[in-house]
Structure 1
């Protein structure tokens, strides 16, 4: 039995492009089921998607992360393709992305964007992507080139074990960090990136959503790498306690230095001990996540069951 493929398209006001996306997905993946999840669109996105042959569902909680969480929970398949509903990605590359997932037994394949038109990728978006990708590489050791790409292919065991805590455009960051921290195999495949069709507008705010993604990165850093994250303030307080203690001795027992030195030492102990505790909790969580991940066998096209 061939692997079942589901194409997932989160949408918000994409009436100008959604029909083309659905039709192209049906053309390149004729056996796949095409799902469009409408997120409170104020135009006729849902009706156009249904007329084009997609299965249309609705998510009331606003935000791309909310839609992805619902899609991953609702849909059962062997291979999941996720793309945006704006027709900016080259869907002709989908068979290649799926082959990369199956043949190399990856759990996630990212379509890295190669812009074909200058106006396809706004400078602010491009700069923010480069900056945030660099930050994630430093904090988590993730060697990806396009962290915020919306074109991805996933295995079933990835989708069904991914917690999806984000509500907005931070979801791509969460996907990447989940992959890295759980040591899941992934790959990148270059794909063409086109300008939006006339009348279609990006929903991503460079400043507002950029800061949300930045805060998500910092939150995940403390959540996923607590030993390092909490050791930084612990070392700061340890250094402060040492300096204040030495300063007090140099000043022939100056009394004023000892209360802040003592408080700094307490800060060192608190951050240090909590870092050790949080790190152990994170290790336990990863063990449970790994066991759940292993409960879903990898489905390949040559499997007979």
Structure 2
């Protein structure tokens, strides 16, 4: 089985080397598709040291377009039997891949979400209002998709390769609305969605956290939009 790990990156010079080291050290046959989404810090320079790694392919956007745009760039190039999304900020650890992959390998799931809210492991405690917003967005998304997810905004998601192949040309969202759009489209097509607990190492805004209030509003709009539009 070939695993495609998709890594959207924007201004992550402090963590990009470590996340790529952890990804490449996970067991199994894999390709790693890194999309530098117009970083303005030292990310591009750090990525140069990885460009000859046999498992890694690097793509670059000349300007920042958003996480959704970075994922679309990578999805167009993936070759794997399974595709995992891995953010570059280390809020999610590549050591969790086995938990995400198991329901797919067992033939039970087409899509697996790594939930921050069903894990029994330790996690950093941060931002009450982020938690409230996430729960509201997840509840509304579940109402419109008829799923019962606990964490629609999780950044650790795994898909069978054929799922990505089926939906990638329909994806439209450039920013964090991509999380809602992906969920709506896999639900609409009747794919089997599983959830498993993952550990979460949240960052503060001082440490580089990027999602904000405007992204929450966009998520609400996307919940409604993709209920009736593909």
Match of 2:60 among 58, 61, 68: 58
Distance in 2 (alpha carbons) for counterparts of 1:140 and 1:79:
23
Counterpart for residue 124 of structure 2: 117
Q: Is the 8 A contact 1:66 1:167 kept in 2?
A: yes
Match of 1:192 among 181, 190, 199: 199
Q: Is the 8 A contact 1:7 1:33 kept in 2?
A: yes
Higher relative contact order (CA 8 A, sep 6+): 2
Could you tell me which runs of 5 or more consecutive residues in structure 2 were left unpaired when the two chains were aligned.
none
Cα RMSD (Å):
1.9
Q: Is the 8 A contact 1:5 1:31 kept in 2?
A: yes
Match of 1:214 among 208, 216, 220: 220
Q: Is the 8 A contact 1:100 1:106 kept in 2?
A: yes
Match of 1:20 among 18, 21, 24: 18
Distance 1:197 1:9, change over 3 A: farther
How far the C-alpha of 1:167 sits from its partner, in A, is 1.1
Counterpart for residue 83 of structure 2: 80
Distance in 2 (alpha carbons) for counterparts of 1:43 and 1:200:
14
Q: Secondary structure at the match of 1:13?
A: coil
Could you tell me which runs of 5 or more consecutive residues in structure 1 were left unpaired when the two chains were aligned.
225-305
Q: Secondary structure at the match of 2:198?
A: strand
Distance in 2 (alpha carbons) for counterparts of 1:50 and 1:81:
23
Distance 1:197 1:92, change over 3 A: farther
C-alpha deviations, 1:271-292, integer Å up to 9, x for none?
Answer: xxxxxxxxxxxxxxxxxxxxxx
C-alpha deviations, 1:54-85, integer Å up to 9, x for none?
Answer: 42211246011111111111222211111110
Distance in 1 (alpha carbons) for counterparts of 2:40 and 2:100:
32
Match of 2:208 among 201, 211, 229: 201
Residues 126-137 of structure 1: pairs in structure 2 closer than 5 A: 126-137=131-142
Q: Secondary structure at the match of 1:138?
A: helix
Residues 266-285 of structure 1: pairs in structure 2 closer than 5 A: none
Q: Secondary structure at the match of 2:166?
A: coil
How far the C-alpha of 1:5 sits from its partner, in A, is 1.1
Distance in 2 (alpha carbons) for counterparts of 1:83 and 1:103:
22
Distance in 2 (alpha carbons) for counterparts of 1:27 and 1:179:
30
Q: Is the 8 A contact 2:7 2:86 kept in 1?
A: yes
Distance in 2 (alpha carbons) for counterparts of 1:197 and 1:170:
21
- Please identify the structure whose Cα radius of gyration is greater: 1
- Tell me if 1:148 matches 2:153: yes
The structure with more strand, counted as a fraction of residues = 2
The structure with more helix, counted as a fraction of residues = 1
TM-score by length of 2: 0.88
TM-score by length of 1: 0.67
